[in-house]
Amino acid sequence: MRAVTFTEPGGPEVLELGTVETPTRVNAEFLIKVVAAGVNPLDAKTRAGRGAWAGVTSTPVVLGNDFSGIVVEAPYESHPLQPGTEVYGMGMVPRMSGAYAEYLTATALSVARKPPSLSHVEAAGIPLAALTAWGMVVETAKAHEGQRMLIHAGAGGVGHFAVQFAAYFGAHVIATGSSRNTPFLTELGASEVVDYTEHRFEEAIDEVDAVIDLIGNTVDETGSRSLRILRPGGIYVNGPTGSFPGMAAEAEALGVRATGYRVAPDAATLAIVSRLIESGDVRVFVDRVLPLEDAAEAHRLIESGHTRGKIVLTVAEV
């Protein structure tokens, strides 16, 4: 099958379009024809030798956790998602081969029925980002009515779902973003938007109950500054791996709670997200759509840190 692969970590240029063996379905797995694949910062980090690279045991590596496609083989005869069913979900690269390919295998707990109202391109932009946002905002920070929640990088892939989930559950959402994204963030449900190019967020807003940090200390000590704006007993949730090494010690010194978050495939939660999408309460924004052979350009775009919503690769025609 056609696939974009790499054998050694490096820049986007290490990604190459070639052919690899089609994966074989075993046990409670699906074989899925990939129509579209979402691109995430984790993909770029793994390609560069960080992210999930430590789990690579053989090469070439096929990246891509997010997929939308069509069931080719189901786990068993009476499974509700039979061949021909349109599905989407999140895999676990490099434990399993990824979505930058014509076919992939995925466990039954990783796959949900694709929302009928969405194209495969739109659906492929959802799983990892939405599940991450749900885990950080709903499960960890417990978004609720009256809560003041600060969300950094609110216009990004995870961020634009985080803003919508927090607003849906009644939180007063304060998002950071550039001036060009202010209208976009307001449409998503942000009550306040802080333009980080003009203001330091800690000087522009009052203390908050929770911070969803999708930046960390990699830029202008965003994590450290966020801890200092939390009310006593507030919670700080950090997303990007390795972005705030001193988080625990700093939080303890300030008397606030702090935790990282790592997403896992969860078809049951993805089905909840599907219902929110079908009801119109949540939407996915796809910033750029590129063909599979332009995966390297997709990585350059996502590493720029200025994309709005998601980048998606088209893999096959329906």
* Domain ranges for the chain: 2-126+284-314, 129-260
Kindly indicate the confidence band of residue 305, based on its pLDDT and cuts at 50, 70 and 90: confident
pLDDT mean over 98-104? 98
Over pLDDT 90: what percentage of the chain? 97
> How many other CB atoms are found less than 10 A from the CB of residue 207?
13
Query: Phi and psi (nearest 5°) for 36?
Result: -145, 150
Band (103; pLDDT cuts 50, 70, 90):
very high
pLDDT of residue 241: 87
Is cis: bond before 94, omega within 30 of 0? yes
pLDDT digits (tens, 9 = 90+) for 243-253: 999 999 999 99
Distance (Å, whole) CA 162 – CA 188: 10
pLDDT digits (tens, 9 = 90+) for 168-203: 999 999 999 999 999 999 999 999 999 999 999 999
In 266-308, DSSP assigns E strands to: 286-291
Q: How far apart are CA 105 and CA 14, in angstroms?
A: 24
Prediction pTM value = 0.96
Q: Mean pLDDT, the chain, as a whole number?
A: 96
Residue 92: CA count within 13 A, CB half-sphere: 14
The domain made up of 129-260 is a member of CATH 3.40.50.720: yes
Fold of 2-126+284-314: Quinone Oxidoreductase; Chain A, domain 1 (3.90.180)
Contact present, 93 and 64 (Cβ < 8 Å): yes
Q: Which pLDDT does position 318 carry in this prediction?
A: 79
Per-residue burial over 145-155, b = 16 or more CB atoms within 10 Å of its CB, e = otherwise: eebbbbbbbbb
8 Å CB contact between 276 and 282: yes
Residue 23: DSSP 8-state: P
Amino acid at 161: F
Structure confidence by residue, pLDDT tens digits, 262-275: 999 999 999 999 99
